[in-house]
Structure 1
Amino acid sequence: MPGRVEFYKLCKRFVDEKDVPAEVQQLEYYALAIGHHIGVVDCLASIMAMDKEAYFKWISKLPRGKARSKLEGLARWGELEINKEHVPVLIAALEEANASFLPEEKQWTDCLLRLLYAMEKEPAIYLVVRLSEGASDYCRQRTDGR
C-alpha cells in the first residue's frame, strides 16, 4: 500500500482580479471575509507528511467516534478538509489517545494540535489532508468498482 499523506494549511487567500470587475470591489472584501471560493484562490502550504501506512496506524489509535471517522475518510475520498467545525472533536480525541502514541506519532499529534488550537483562535484557517496517490488513482478505483 504505497503512498504518502500530506497535511496542508491555508497560508493566504487572494482574489483573482480578472474575475472581479472594479465596480464590485466590495464583493472582493465580502468574499474574503466570509470565505466563499468564487474568484478566491486559496494558497496552501505543506506542513506535515508521512507514509500512508504510518498515518492509518496513527489514527487507528484514536478512540472510535467522529474524529477517527473524519480522519479515516481519507482512505475513501483521497482528500479531506479539516475546518473549525472539526476542531473540538479532533482535539479531544488526540488528547485522549496521546499516551498510546509512539514518539514519531507524538510529534505529528503535537503539530496537529498546535494547528487545531490556532484554528480555535482564527476560524478562517483550515487544513487539507491528501493522499499522494491523487485523484486519478482514486477515480480509477471507483470506476473499477473497488
Structure 2
Amino acid sequence: MPNSKTADLPEELTQSRHLEQNVYFYSLGRKFVDESYDVPEEAKQIMYYSLAIGHHLGVVDCLDAVLKCSGHEYLEWICGLDQSGEAFRKMKGFLVFGEITIYPEHLNMLALAFDRIDSSTQNEKSQQLTSGFIDALGAIHREPTMYMMIRGGR
C-alpha cells in the first residue's frame, strides 16, 4: 500500500513481512522476583545481589499493551519522521527485526522527533499513535526502570 510518504523507502521496509502483522507497544507494568521454586539460600543471595547491581536474574517483567496498530499503519506513522534522523532509524528497526526495545536513553530523541511532526500531515490513526507514544515515553521518564517493547503479533 505505497503512498507518497513510503514511495522512496528501501524495499526492506516496504516489503517487510512485519507489515502484515499487528504492532503492539508493550510497556513494563511491573516486575517481580519469581520465587515459585525452592531456591537454595546461597542462590537467593546471588539473585538479590544481581538485582542490586542492575541485572535481572530471576526477575519476571510484566508487560502491558498500551498501543496497537497494523504494520501498514506503523509504516505510515513513522514516515512522518525525518527519514535521515536517528528516530526513524530506531523505529524502522521493528520492520527490519520484528521487535525493538525503547529504553530511557532513547526518550528525549524519540519524544522530540515525534513532537516535531506537523499533525496536519498525519491521518487520525497516526495522530493517535503519536499522542499515545509520547504519553508512554512520559511514563518511562517518570519511572526510569520502565521500558517499552514494540513487537509484532496476530
Query: TM-score of the superposition, structure 1-length normalised?
Result: 0.80
Query: Is it true that 1:114 corresponds to 2:154 in the alignment?
Result: no
Is contact 2:47–2:57 with CA below 8 Å preserved after alignment?
A: no
Task: Name stretches of at least 5 consecutive residues in structure 1 with no aligned partner.
Answer: 134-146
Counterpart position of 1:16: 34
Counterpart position of 2:59: 40
Is contact 1:81–1:128 with CA below 8 Å preserved after alignment?
A: yes
Counterpart position of 2:3: none
Query: Is it true that 1:129 corresponds to 2:150 in the alignment?
Result: yes
Give me the whole-angstrom Cα distance separating, in 1, the residues matched to 2:43 and 2:68: 40
Give me the whole-angstrom Cα distance separating, in 2, the residues matched to 1:13 and 1:112: 21
CA-CA distance at 1:49 after TM superposition? 0.8
Q: What residue identity is the alignment partner of 1:2?
A: E
Counterpart position of 2:100: 80
CA-CA distance at 1:25 after TM superposition? 4.6
CA-CA distance at 1:114 after TM superposition? 0.9
Q: What residue identity is the alignment partner of 1:7?
A: F
Counterpart position of 1:138: none
CA RMSD of aligned residues (A): 2.1
Is contact 2:81–2:88 with CA below 8 Å preserved after alignment?
A: yes
| Deviation sequence 1:39-84 (CA, Å, 0-9, x none) | 1111111111111001011001111311111010011111110010
Task: Name stretches of at least 5 consecutive residues in structure 2 with no aligned partner.
Answer: 1-18
Give me the whole-angstrom Cα distance separating, in 2, the residues matched to 1:81 and 1:19: 32
Query: Is it true that 1:60 corresponds to 2:79 in the alignment?
Result: yes
Give me the whole-angstrom Cα distance separating, in 2, the residues matched to 1:47 and 1:34: 29
More helix by share: 1
- Number of residue equivalences: 133
Is contact 1:31–1:40 with CA below 8 Å preserved after alignment?
A: no
CA-CA distance at 1:19 after TM superposition? 7.2
Q: What residue identity is the alignment partner of 1:10?
A: L
CA-CA distance at 1:22 after TM superposition? 3.3
Could you list the runs of 4 or more consecutive aligned residues of structure 1 that deviate by over 4 angstroms after TM superposition? 23-35
Question: How high is the sequence identity, in percent, across the aligned residues?
Answer: 38
